Structure 1
Amino acid sequence: MIDRTRAMWPQIADVIIERIADGTYPPGSKVPSVVQIAAEFGVVNSTAQRAMERVRAEGLTRSEKGMGTYVLRPEERDQP
């Protein structure tokens, strides 16, 4: 699944994006924390953070300070 000979963060981002697409993380649900993602994939927190930044840049999630990161509903994804 993850190729450790290539940069990890884009691969992790792809996994998270796929999980959103397939409903593993449905709209409105909370995405695992950076610490949880880092532990799952065996990477440092900064690598997991970079992956999550890409997922957010794709317009799929929103972060609430102190609350976590949530999957946007499709109707929310088109808004600025």
Structure 2
Amino acid sequence: MSVDLDRTRPVWRQIAAVIVGRIEDGTYPPATKVPSVVELSSEFGVAASTAQKVLAHLKAEGLVRTEVGLGTFVADRSNS
């Protein structure tokens, strides 16, 4: 799935918005794994540091949680 990014706005914010959209539309349901840094870098053609910033932002927003050695998963927000 290819996404055209607007290079006049912060790319990491655009990618984060795409991932949020996928969470909201059920592409990534609660408790499922989201793409890794490497997968995001490859899909969007960005540096690993940009992909890390995306995942850090989503975690700070409470949309995803990380499990060391396992990956990053969609947070279950049904109890909030």
TM-score, normalised by the number of residues in structure 1: 0.89
Give the equivalent residue in structure 2 for 1:29: 32
Unaligned runs of 5+ in 1: none
Identity of aligned residues (%): 55
Q: How many residues align?
A: 77
Q: Aligned-pair distance for 1:5?
A: 2.6
Indicate whether 1:46 and 2:49 are aligned: yes
Give the equivalent residue in structure 2 for 1:69: 72
1:55 to 54, 58, 79: 58
| SS state at 1:25 partner | coil
1:9 to 9, 12, 16: 12
CA RMSD in angstroms comes to 1.2
**In structure 1, distance between residues paired with 2:8 and 2:75:** 32
TM-score, normalised by the number of residues in structure 2: 0.89
Q: Aligned-pair distance for 1:72?
A: 1.1
Q: After TM superposition, which residue ranges in structure 1, 4 or more long, deviate above 6 angstroms?
A: none
